[in-house]
Amino acid sequence: MIEEGLLSLCMIVKNEEKWLQRCLESVKDAVDEIIIVDTGSTDRTKEIAAEYGAAVYDYEWNDSFADARNFGLDKAKGEWILWLDADEEVEPGDGQHLRDVLSREECYFGRIKVVNYYGTFPVTYDRSHIMNQYRLFRNDPKLRFAGEIHEQLDIEALDLTNKSVLVVPVTLHHYGYLEEAVEEKGKKERNLRLLEKALEAEDHDPWLDYHYASELYRSEKMAEAFERVNLSIGSFLKSQKKPPSLLYKLKYSILMAIGSYEGGWPSIELAIKLYPDYVDLHFYKGIILMSMKKFAEALETFEYCLTLDEDHPAYLTMVGTGSFLAWYYIGSCHELMEDLPKAEEAYRKSLELSDTMEQAREALQKLGVLESAADN
C-alpha cells in the first residue's frame, strides 16, 4: 500500500561492499525507507544494507536489470521513488532537496544532475560527462523499467501530457565507469554478453544497437562500434524517428578516437542541424576543421562553443567542451596561425579554468612562457 509523503530508495546490488556504505550514507537522512534487491552477493553487501535499516530482498538473477528493478518497485511503499546504483553518491548537503518533490502535487518526475566520471582515481570534475536524468518518480504501478541492460523508465507507457517535471537541485556522482571499477566487476564482458543476447531478437529496440556500440567503444573495438552506431541511427530513421543526440555524440567520439577526422565531414553539419545547441557536436566540428587546416573557421567554432551551455538538460556533455577544452583549442588555432600572444592568452585561460589541463600547461612551456616542474 502506497503511503503519502514518503520517499522510498530502490536499489539493486551484488557484491557492492566497496561502494554501498558511501551511497547510503549520502541519502540516509533524505529517504523514509530503503529497498535493496540483492542478486547474489557473497561479500558484506547485505550486512551493510541492514546496518542502514534497509529491507533486503534476495532475487534470483535472470539476466534482466529491468526485472530486478521492477521487483524492488513492487516492494516500495513511498509515494515517491528514488533510484540509485551502489557506485553513486549524492553531493554532500544536497540530500534533503530530494524531498522537494513530496510537496509538489503537480509533479510526476524529478530530474537531477548526474556526473559520470571517467579515467582513473583520483576523480576530478574535469574528467567527467554530465547529464540530467529522471531519478525521482511517483510510485505508479503503470510506470516500470524496461530493458535487460541499460534499463530506463518506460515513460512512453504513460500519458505525460499533463505530468510535469521538477528540476531538483541535486548532484549525483557516478563512479561506475572509472577504469578500476569496470575492471573489478568485469562490466565490459558482462554488458557485451547481455547485449548480444538481447540483440538476437529481430525486432529489437534500436537503443540496443547504441548501447552495444557504446560497449564496443569502451572496449576499443572502434570499427565495430562505428558500424553499430550507424546501424542504430539508420534504425531510428527507418522508423521515422529523430535519432537521439547520444547517437551522434558517440559516432563522432569514435571518429575522434581513431583520428578519422575526414570521416566526420561534412556529416557533422547535418548532426548540428538536428541539435544546434549541443556543444559537444560543435566542439567535434572544430577539431575536424583544424584537421582540414581551416584554422580561422575552427577558431570561430571553438569560440562559439564558449557561448553554449555545458550543463544543458537535454544532452550528455563532456565537461570542458564549452570551457577549458574550448580555450585550449582556441590557443592551438592561434598558435597555428602564428599569433603567439593570443595563443598564450587562451592557453592561460584554459589552465585557469582547469588546473589539471596538462595540454595547456605543456603548450605554455613549449612557448617558453611557463617553467616546467623539472625546472623548479
Question: Does the structure show a pLDDT above 70 at 287?
Answer: yes
> To the nearest whole number, what is the mean pLDDT of the chain?
95
What pLDDT was estimated at residue 156?
Answer: 77
Q: Write the DSSP symbol of residue 139.
A: -
3-class DSSP assignment, residue 209: helix
> What gap in Å lies between CA 48 and CA 43, rounded to an integer?
10
Please give the residue that has the higher pLDDT: either 374 or 1: 1
Mean pLDDT calculated for residue range 10-23: 98
Query: What is the grid cell recorded at 99?
Result: 524531498
Mean pLDDT calculated for residue range 100-128: 94
Alpha helices, H only, the chain: 20-27, 45-51, 65-73, 179-185, 187-198, 206-218, 222-238, 245-258, 267-274, 279-291, 295-305, 324-336, 340-353, 358-366
Report CA dihedral (288, 294, 297, 299) to the nearest 10 degrees.
80
Q: Does residue 233 contact residue 243 with C-beta atoms inside 8 Å?
A: yes
Query: What is the grid cell recorded at 129?
Result: 560527462
Question: Does the structure show a pLDDT above 80 at 41?
Answer: yes
Q: Does residue 82 contact residue 10 with C-beta atoms inside 8 Å?
A: yes
Q: Does residue 12 contact residue 72 with C-beta atoms inside 8 Å?
A: yes
Query: What is the grid cell recorded at 112?
Result: 537531477
Percent of the chain with pLDDT over 70: 98
Domain ranges of the chain: 3-180
Q: Give the least confident one: 88-92, 212-216, 291-295, 371-375.
A: 371-375
Q: Does residue 188 contact residue 219 with C-beta atoms inside 8 Å?
A: yes
Burial classification of residue 329, based on how many CB atoms lie within 10 Å of its CB (0-12 exposed, 13-18 middle, 19 or more buried): buried
Mean pLDDT calculated for residue range 301-316: 96
CB atoms within 10 A of CB 290: 20
What pLDDT was estimated at residue 372?
Answer: 64
Q: Which CATH architecture has domain 3-180?
A: Alpha-Beta Complex (3.90)
Residue 314's closest CA among 170, 132, 129? Answer: 132
> What gap in Å lies between CA 366 and CA 361, rounded to an integer?
9
Sign of the dihedral defined by the CA atoms of residues 179, 225, 128, 194, in that order: negative
Place of cell 548526474: 114
- Model-level pTM? 0.94
> What gap in Å lies between CA 343 and CA 349, rounded to an integer?
10
What pLDDT was estimated at residue 186?
Answer: 86
What pLDDT was estimated at residue 160?
Answer: 63
Q: What is the pLDDT of residues 120-175, one digit of tens each?
A: 989 999 999 999 999 999 999 989 999 999 999 998 777 766 678 999 999 999 99
